[in-house]
């Protein structure tokens, strides 16, 4: 999503400047061209050599660089986005009041690109009426604010004012620069593998890690959607997502019963167990009791139930993890369960599906379309899936 974008990363003088290194690395890894600008204060906390080594271009600090007679104008005009992380009370005040005191504040005033500001300061400063008013002024002008978090501050104090985590900052940049083609929609994503208890210790489970579902959730958030994840795993959720924790197929069904009717898009990326024990043993079954006689019964077919209840305009996405007859099995599931599209992957192939950070899929749609996505990271697969969702929604929309 950020590939090819030119991002000016402004770093001002606070102890949180060290986090700008991780923000820079994440942006570059996402394909962005990062141009760092440091204030004089930032140099007290972070060496320019470090940031220059990780960024796409060397750090710039001065308005009077002979190589670029008007660097602030060039930077402001060529930026796709200006990000300030951390933003001190001084920089926020200068920006709000139009004071061009250094290269960074000049760039902020000289750009027409979207601006993301990530404040970081002590609690007393963050709550000061002047700072509150300055933030309100910037918000009113359309500046995107990534509010600070509560936690340990410089000097050991605890309170609100800590710079947002790098993943939150990058997610905010993705939301600003990404396509807003899912804005105003509610996307529900299931993730992970259900666990059906045998006794108090053991379960029937599968190998699903939840990574693909979480990648879809992150991509949907970046496209402007409101996202709820119904999850069986303990992965860190993408910033902005709501999470409903479940374990069994029955619990997942109950959660979706409340969420599905109002959802615009449902992506069933979870690997739901097909069978569960009829009865759960009390306590732990001991080995010396012999091999237990476990009687299985089918779990509820959640996907089929969602397909049967699907309202007009709602898009339902299923997954088919197969080891043979991939496309035939996926096509049959697509039709049988009344899906709009299905994402099929051959989990017997190296690097595909469960536990991996990569996937290779074929996306089949109800109108007969097929799209192959070669071995890619799961976020790229998520983007392809949601591209298809957007096309299906556009086709189904009333003219």
Rounded to the nearest 10 degrees, the angle between the axes of helix 89-97 and helix 129-140 is 50
Nearest CA among 342, 352, 296 for reference residue 319: 342
Q: Are 27 and 56 in contact (CB under 8 A)?
A: no
Q: Within 79-206, where are the H helices?
A: 89-97, 103-110, 123-126, 129-140, 166-177
Catalytic residue, chosen from 106, 206, 329, 345, is 206
> CA angle 318-189-357, nearest 5°?
85
Can you tell me the distance from the alpha carbon of 130 to that of 322, in angstroms, rounded to the nearest whole number? 59
- Strand runs labelled E in the chain: 6-11, 33-38, 81-87, 115-119, 144-145, 149-152, 158-162, 186-191, 196-197, 203-204, 226-231, 242-245, 265-268, 275-277, 296-298, 315-322, 341-346, 358-365, 370-377
- DSSP code, position 362: E
Residue 356, C-beta contacts closer than 8 angstroms, at least 6 positions apart: 211, 378
Confirm whether 33 is a catalytic residue. Answer: no
* Total residues found in the chain within this entry: 399
Active site residues: 206
């Amino acid at each position: 999503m950020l590939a090819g974008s030119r991002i000016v990363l402004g770093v001002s003088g606070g102890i949180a400047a060290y986090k700008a290194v991780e923000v820079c690395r994440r942006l570059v890894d996402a394909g962005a061209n990062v141009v760092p600008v440091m204030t004089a204060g930032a140099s007290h906390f972070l060496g320019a050599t470090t940031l220059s080594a990780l960024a796409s271009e060397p750090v710039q600090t001065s308005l009077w660089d002979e190589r670029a007679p008007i660097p602030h104008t060039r930077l402001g005009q060529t930026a796709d986005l200006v990000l300030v992380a951390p933003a001190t009370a001084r920089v926020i005040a200068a920006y709000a009041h139009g004071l061009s005191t250094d290269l960074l504040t000049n760039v902020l005033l000289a750009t027409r690109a979207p601006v993301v500001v990530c404040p970081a300061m002590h609690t007393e400063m963050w709550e000061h009426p002047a700072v509150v008013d300055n933030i309100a002024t910037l918000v009113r002008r359309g500046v995107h604010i990534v509010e600070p978090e509560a936690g340990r501050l410089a000097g050991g104090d605890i309170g609100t004012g800590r710079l947002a985590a790098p993943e939150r900052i990058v997610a905010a940049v993705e939301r600003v620069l990404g396509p807003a083609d899912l804005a105003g929609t509610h996307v529900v994503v299931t993730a992970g593998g259900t666990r059906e208890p045998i006794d108090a210790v053991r379960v029937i489970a599968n190998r699903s890690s939840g990574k693909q579902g979480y990648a879809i959730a992150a991509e949907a958030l970046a496209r402007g959607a409101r996202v709820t994840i119904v999850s069986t795993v303990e992965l860190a959720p993408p910033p902005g997502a709501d999470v409903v924790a479940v374990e069994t197929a029955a619990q997942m069904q109950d959660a979706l019963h409340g969420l599905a009717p109002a959802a615009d898009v449902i992506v069933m990326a979870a690997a739901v167990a097909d069978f569960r024990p009829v009865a759960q043993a009390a306590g732990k079954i001991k080995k010396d009791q012999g091999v237990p006689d476990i009687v299985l019964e089918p779990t509820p077919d959640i996907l089929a139930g969602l397909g049967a209840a699907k309202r007009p305009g709602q898009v339902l996405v299923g997954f088919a993890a197969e080891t043979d007859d991939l496309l035939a099995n996926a096509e049959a599931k697509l039709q049988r369960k009344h899906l709009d599209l299905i994402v099929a992957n051959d989990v017997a192939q190296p690097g595909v599906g469960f536990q991996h950070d990569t996937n290779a899929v074929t996306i089949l749609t109800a109108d007969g379309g097929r799209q192959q996505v070669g071995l890619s990271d799961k976020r790229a697969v998520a983007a392809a899936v949601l591209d298809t969702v957007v096309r299906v929604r556009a086709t189904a929309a009333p003219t």
